[in-house]
A = this chain, B = another copy of it.
Amino acid sequence: MAKTAAQKPRTKYVLDDKDIPAKWYNIQADLKTPAPPVLHPGTGQPIGPQDLAPLFPMELIKQEVSRERWIEIPEEIRSVLALWRPSPLYRARRLEKALGTSARIYYKYEGVSPAGSHKPNTAVAQVYYNKREGVTRIATETGAGQWGSALAMATTFFGLQCKVYMVKVSYQQKPYRRIMMETWGAQVVPSPSPDTQAGTKVLAQDPDSPGSLGIAISEAVEDAATRDDTKYSLGSVLNHVLMHQTVIGLEAKKQLERADDEADVVIGCAGGGSNFAGLSFPFAADKLTGKKKKLRIVAVEPAACPSLTKGQYVYDFGDTVGLTPLVKMHTLGHTFVPAPLHAGGLRYHGMAPLVCKLYDEGVIEAVAVPQIATFQAAMTFARAEGIIPAPESAHAIRVAIDEAERCKREGKRQAILFNLSGHGHFDLGAYEAYLAGKLSDYEYPAEKIAEALRSVPNVRG
């Protein structure tokens, strides 16, 4: 149960440079049973570090499978995180008032990073370890550009080169994210590109291909695998990526202490799972260890791409094409193509394996929300608190408001905490569509999911 909130009407809780966490929290140490192994797609056997060595530096491979509870954050990483961390924790007093709720609403604001989201938290760490192991160039893919811009910034900080394969339709329609990456010195090409065999093959079949995240991943992986100076970098899903994001939750816990309060409900939107995990895993620790049994943790996904709530918990490919190792996760089938949702960061057929494990074990809940209701929540938030949220983050806001209204109905005085994972400065086209009444809710037919689920390979871990 929450203590009484602080008496003084504070709006936010800021922390000093020195309060940036010194260690990441590795939830693998506290799982009831170990996370299922990642399997080789050919042999069906667990893969080893050497299988991943062409793509990732050894330190990240170690972190991926580590069972140590706390992993030290090198000072070189902390000094870069200090450019925007600790991020502020807000008490949403104006939103509470607008809702007339008896709940206390808090949000952790990750949009303060120069790239505008939580993504740089892991980009900086990944680039640092690559540099330490002699890598001089990193390749990655990006859809709308959120991850690509985070990596572009991190590589320029450490003096590495960066090549970003950007899904062609986004490259053409969203120039601002591309320019941002170029301002930070990255080379950005529209994918499919003639720079790789994978891209060349697609272009030969369809010179006007709009591209897809699956194709872009194939290009970036090929780039890294075929060049000695280059490794690959991924912005979500993997265990080490989620762990790098736990600075969010660790800071939030300290800030709630300053507020003399405790969370009853913790909420994050979930696409690949990294911002959700970053906020919630340090809180989930208290559930796993029995310290806070009543705490609720809620992952929010779009109704148009409901991997946790409608998918199956099975081994599937991480990418659309079916080239990656097999991971056990809640999946809609790797061939599932979600509707053209404005929350581009949530359009993923699967979900981070560690998030899925917690969901499977009943540690966390999940809920799917439709698009229009999500933008309604975003508008309510923007007019009360000022910040215009990213459409992805608005999913968390929707459920935070729903929970606050539940508290009002039930007369409960709970503390609700959500992750405002980024701002919407590059998503204003979506707001325009909403304001013009042009947004739609994608009803997803059960047959479509059932069909995509048939693409799941027949593998048991």
Interface residues of A (CB under 8 A from B): 9-12, 14-17, 79, 82-84, 90, 94, 112-116, 153, 156-157, 175-176, 179-180, 182-185, 379, 382-383, 385-388, 425-426, 428-429, 431-432, 435
- Give the residue name and chain of the B residue nearest to A385 (CB): B83
Give A93 Cβ to nearest chain B Cβ, in Å.
8
- Give the residue name and chain of the B residue nearest to A90 (CB): B83
What is the bound-complex CA distance between A159 and B18, given in angstroms?
40
**A156 lies within 8 A of B383 (CB):** yes
**A382 lies within 8 A of B184 (CB):** yes
Given A180-B428, A383-B156, A11:B388 Cβ within 8 A = no
Select A83's contact among B11, B15, B180, B429, beta carbons within 8 Å: B11
A-B contacts, 16 listed (Cβ < 8 Å): A9-B79, A10-B17, A11-B82, A11-B83, A83-B90, A83-B94, A83-B386, A113-B386, A116-B425, A156-B383, A157-B386, A176-B425, A179-B428, A182-B432, A183-B383, A425-B426
**A386 lies within 8 A of B17 (CB):** no
**B11 lies within 8 A of A382 (CB):** no
**A387 lies within 8 A of B114 (CB):** yes
A79 surroundings in chain B (CB, below 8 A): 9, 11
**A82 lies within 8 A of B114 (CB):** no
A82 surroundings in chain B (CB, below 8 A): 10-12
Given A14-B14, A79-B9, A386:B183 Cβ within 8 A = no
- Give the residue name and chain of the B residue nearest to A425 (CB): B425
Select A428's contact among B10, B116, B183, B385, beta carbons within 8 Å: B183
- Give the residue name and chain of the B residue nearest to A176 (CB): B428
What is the bound-complex CA distance between A54 and B14, given in angstroms?
42
**A379 lies within 8 A of B83 (CB):** no
**A183 lies within 8 A of B379 (CB):** yes
What is the bound-complex CA distance between A175 and B431, given in angstroms?
11
Q: A182-B432, A183-B379 are in contact. List 13 more A-B contacts (CB 8 A).
A: A10-B16, A11-B79, A11-B82, A12-B83, A83-B94, A114-B385, A114-B387, A115-B386, A156-B383, A157-B386, A182-B431, A183-B383, A184-B383
Given A156-B383, A184-B383, A383-B184, A435:B12 Cβ within 8 A = no
**A16 lies within 8 A of B14 (CB):** yes
A176 surroundings in chain B (CB, below 8 A): 425, 428
Select A175's contact among B114, B175, B385, B432, beta carbons within 8 Å: B432
**A435 lies within 8 A of B14 (CB):** no
What is the bound-complex CA distance between A12 and B14, given in angstroms?
12
A179 surroundings in chain B (CB, below 8 A): 428-429, 431-432, 435
A385 surroundings in chain B (CB, below 8 A): 83, 114
**B426 lies within 8 A of A183 (CB):** no
A180 surroundings in chain B (CB, below 8 A): 388, 428
A83 surroundings in chain B (CB, below 8 A): 11-12, 90, 94, 385-386
A116 surroundings in chain B (CB, below 8 A): 425
A15 surroundings in chain B (CB, below 8 A): 14
Select A435's contact among B9, B153, B183, B383, beta carbons within 8 Å: B183
**B84 lies within 8 A of A386 (CB):** yes
A175 surroundings in chain B (CB, below 8 A): 428, 432
**A153 lies within 8 A of B386 (CB):** yes
A425 surroundings in chain B (CB, below 8 A): 116, 176, 425-426
A426 surroundings in chain B (CB, below 8 A): 425
Nearest 7 interchain pairs by C-beta: A114-B386, A11-B82, A179-B428, A425-B425, A14-B14, A176-B428, A179-B432
Select A185's contact among B17, B156, B182, B383, beta carbons within 8 Å: B383
A156 surroundings in chain B (CB, below 8 A): 383
Give A352 Cβ to nearest chain B Cβ, in Å.
26
A184 surroundings in chain B (CB, below 8 A): 382-383
What is the bound-complex CA distance between A176 and B430, given in angstroms?
10
A10 surroundings in chain B (CB, below 8 A): 16-17, 82
A379 surroundings in chain B (CB, below 8 A): 183
- Chain B CB within 10 A, most for which of A11, A16, A429: A11
- Give the residue name and chain of the B residue nearest to A10 (CB): B17
A157 surroundings in chain B (CB, below 8 A): 94, 386
A94 surroundings in chain B (CB, below 8 A): 83, 157
A113 surroundings in chain B (CB, below 8 A): 386
- Chain B CB within 10 A, most for which of A90, A184, A379, A386: A386
